[in-house]
Amino acid sequence: MASQQKNPVLSPYRCFDPEPSQREVALQLYSQVRDLPLICPHGHVDPRLLADPEARFGSPAELFVIPDHYILRMLYSQGVPMESLGVPTKDGTAVETDHRKIWQRFADHFYLFRGTPTGLWVQDELQSIFGIHQKLGQENAGAIYDRLVEQLSLPEYSPRALFRRFNIEVLCTTDAATDPLNLHRTIQQDGFPVRPTFRPDAVVNLDTEGWTWNIQRLSDASGIEVVDERTFLEALRQRRQHFKTLGATATDHAAPTAHTGRLGENERGSIFNRALRGQASAEDARRFTGHMLIEFAHMSAEDGLVMQLHIGSERNHNPQVFQRFGRDMGADLPRATEWTRNLRPLLDEVGNDSRLSVVLFTLDESTYSRELAPLAGHYPVLRLGPPWWFFDSVKGMECYLDQVVETAGIHNLAGFNDDTRAFASIPVRHDVWRRVSCNWLAAQVVRGLIDFEDAREMAAQLAYGLAKTTYRFTGGEA
């Protein structure tokens, strides 16, 4: 421990400004929120990790490299073939199977992540979870690999053990509308506060590959034969109820644009029928999604599920990568997003409904100050989600706080979520948010814009309170 303090790779002041008065206030604020339980209202942890007490994370390559699209995209951008990183191909072409080699390749290129959140996360995980206080690099990759392999085989590094150690108060997964949620039942029965989130994109986006098959599964799961738009809505309502019985408090919806617009009964019926016959056009799909967002907003007003909108990702931008490796390989790319006019039809119907809460996520930072903060600072139903994806980073968070708080305050924000499938990175991501937000508040304090007492309350809200209230987690979960 003493030697660790002598050679820390990670500074205890990391993310804080160097100016002594600000750093001091930041540290005071941070010390009060550092150990608060983690509220994880949106993420992509695989429930299988937690359903089986014997589950393990696998090799260091499986834990850190192969499933992480941040890592894959950076290495790929610098000419490292994804095959050489063990990413399975759709056609079964052979890929690297030696995980020690994959890890070495990652370490050889770890310099690429200097100045990126991935660099920070990985280094912090190695240190704070595995006690490895060295900078990962070409030379020590093998030794670190061996140590990680050893640790990962131990019960105290099992997903369930880390879940306890991470002090997670609640964790929400993201699940298809057709998911029976049996794993969630098991996990909950074993005392873990894990909740599902209703994400119906695969049955709502008419151009999803396999949509018709998804609809058949929806019929099966709901027990309602989906034969037209009316039964489709019924089946969705049934699934929402099922999700609620398993503790869901939220839904999630992704779309490339924020377009919303009500369709007439005939029109939406016709589109749905065309889709059932496999004849829906891209424009049909776009308009149907725009209509369904309004339908879902009404359902949320009725059943109380918080509605999340993740807008602006152009999925599978690289057709070669998609054809060879499939989804989530780092080839989803942001595009400019318009909110003010696109959301208007939805808000016209439900923008003032006190029962409803809609959380907005953007990949277009220029919309923070121009559209999102003004919208959330007026409409009772709107909250802003935290910086998303590429913006889950020190500068991303500072940009967000700089651009939204003056107009929307902090009480129209949804707190933090880690939005990750990389389970081991959860506490690190929350820690970065807590550090950055405390440092940001400290700047406000030393500039005389808020006082320390206010900053303390704001820090606790940003670290913990806002996520809990926004997502309607009430009472104890574990």
User: Which 193-212 positions form the footprint of a second copy (CB under 8 A)?
Assistant: none
List the one residue from 165, 327, 335, 472 that touches a second copy (CB under 8 A): 335
Q: Does 451 bind a second copy (CB under 8 A)?
A: yes
Specify the stretch interacting with a second copy by CB under 8 A; choose among 27-35, 282-290, 448-456, 469-477: 448-456
Are 144 and 126 contacting, i.e. CB atoms less than 8 angstroms apart? yes
Q: Does 297 bind a second copy (CB under 8 A)?
A: no
Q: Smallest gap, in angstroms, from Cβ of residue 389 to a second copy?
A: 9
CB-count exposure of residue 36 (10 Å: 0-12, 13-18, 19+): middle
Map residues 344-363 to x or -, x wherever contact with a second copy holds by CB under 8 A: x--xx--xx-x--------x
Are 305 and 356 contacting, i.e. CB atoms less than 8 angstroms apart? no
Map residues 399-438 to x or -, x wherever contact with a second copy holds by CB under 8 A: x--xx-xxxxxxxx--------------------------
Q: Among positive and negative, which fits the CA dihedral 145, 148, 154, 155?
A: negative
Q: Which residue's CB is nearer to a second copy, number 181 or number 463? A: 463
d(CA 336, CA 411): 26
Joined together, the tokens standing for residue 254 give 């992704």
Within positions 31 to 90, which residues make up the interface with a second copy, using CB under 8 A? Answer: 73-74, 76-79
Joined together, the tokens standing for residue 164 give 């306890």
Q: Smallest gap, in angstroms, from Cβ of residue 165 to a second copy?
A: 24
d(CA 420, CA 43): 5
Q: How many CA atoms lie within 13 A of 239 on its CB side?
A: 32
Q: Does 364 bind a second copy (CB under 8 A)?
A: yes
d(CA 167, CA 147): 24
Q: Does 119 bind a second copy (CB under 8 A)?
A: yes
Q: Which residue's CB is nearer to a second copy, number 53 or number 137? A: 137
How distant, in Å, are the alpha carbons of 99, 155, 167, 272 from that of 146? 11, 17, 27, 54
Q: Smallest gap, in angstroms, from Cβ of residue 442 to a second copy?
A: 9
List the one residue from 448, 474, 475, 476 that touches a second copy (CB under 8 A): 448
Specify the stretch interacting with a second copy by CB under 8 A; choose among 34-42, 109-117, 284-292, 295-303: 109-117
Q: How many CA atoms lie within 13 A of 370 on its CB side?
A: 11
Strands 194-195 and 198-199: unpaired
Q: Does 380 bind a second copy (CB under 8 A)?
A: yes
| Angle between the N-to-C axes of helices 229-245 and 211-222, in degrees from 0 to 180, rounded to the nearest 10 | 60
Q: Which residue's CB is nearer to a second copy, number 68 or number 371? A: 371
Q: Which residue's CB is nearer to a second copy, number 181 or number 343? A: 343
Q: Which residue's CB is nearer to a second copy, number 71 or number 144? A: 71
Q: Which residue's CB is nearer to a second copy, number 163 or number 391? A: 391
